[in-house]
Structure 1
Amino acid sequence: MNTEAVAKRLVELCRTGQYEQAQRELYADDAVSIEPVWAPPGAIGNAEGLPAIYEKGRKFAEGIEEFHGASCGDPVIAADWFSVAMGMDATFKGMGRVNMQEICVYRVRDGKIVHEQFFYSAD
């Protein structure tokens, strides 16, 4: 798949809440996942390699007490990179309800996502 096809498939899966399916289908075995350096307390942190990314997703899901909704915009594509605006409204253990908005940036190599990085505010 080219970058555009990967981006569209990721958005399709995310819009239906199939995050782990997206990782299994679209991510390279050596993919990395990067959070902001200043990520808030309780944030899962960075992950290197697909097994670590799966675990990061599971830990994130375990921290949610109640899920209220999510959004996923259309991808913006530039060569082997793309970005997507995403949002999540959830009540997190020990943090209360958070309406999180972020920009997610991805790099594609050989038809697979090799890099994801998240940009969001802590307030």
Structure 2
Amino acid sequence: MTTQTVARRLVELCRAGQFEQAQQELFDEDAVSIEPEAVPDGILSDETGLPAIRAKGRRFWGGVEAFHSVRCTEPVIAGNWFSIALNVEATFRSIGRITIRELCVYRVEDGKIVREQFFYDEYEP
């Protein structure tokens, strides 16, 4: 798959709230996931390898009681890189309703995502 094909499929799956399917379908087995430097270790930590990335996703999204909205921009593509802005409103069992606004940057090699990096401030209640 081309970077554009991967990017469009990721957007489609994110808009449907199918984050784990996106990881399984589009990520390389040795992919790397990077959180902002200010994020303390815990549920959201840097991970290497698809099993660890999927486990991080399950830890985070598993706490959702209800999704209220998932919005995702069209991808901006530059060579093997693409980015999207992701906005999610969800109610989490542990913290209540929050809005997540983040910029997500991806690198594609041989038709698979090999790196994802997230940029965001604290989540808003």
TM norm structure 1: 0.91
CA distance in 2, matches of 1:37, 1:26: 25
Name the % identity.
58
The answer on 1:39 being equivalent to 2:39 is yes
Q: In structure 1, what is the equivalent of residue 86 of structure 2?
A: 86
Q: Which amino acid aligns with 2:12?
A: E
CA distance in 2, matches of 1:41, 1:106: 22
Q: Which runs of 5+ in 2 are unaligned?
A: none
For this pair of structures, how many residues does the alignment match?
123
Q: In structure 2, what is the equivalent of residue 57 of structure 1?
A: 57
Q: In structure 2, what is the equivalent of residue 107 of structure 1?
A: 107
The root-mean-square deviation of aligned C-alpha atoms, in Å, is 1.6
Q: Tell which deviates more after alignment, 33-42 or 1-10.
A: 33-42
SS of the aligned residue for 1:17 comes to coil
Q: In structure 2, what is the equivalent of residue 117 of structure 1?
A: 117
Q: In structure 2, what is the equivalent of residue 11 of structure 1?
A: 11
Q: Which amino acid aligns with 1:94?
A: S
User: Would the alpha carbon gap of residues 101 and 31 (structure 1) be closer, same or farther in structure 2, given more than 3 Å must change?
Assistant: same
SS of the aligned residue for 2:31 comes to strand
Q: Tell which deviates more after alignment, 86-95 or 15-24.
A: 86-95
User: What is the Cα deviation at residue 24 of structure 1?
Assistant: 1.1
Q: Which runs of 5+ in 1 are unaligned?
A: none
Q: In structure 2, what is the equivalent of residue 26 of structure 1?
A: 26
TM norm structure 2: 0.90
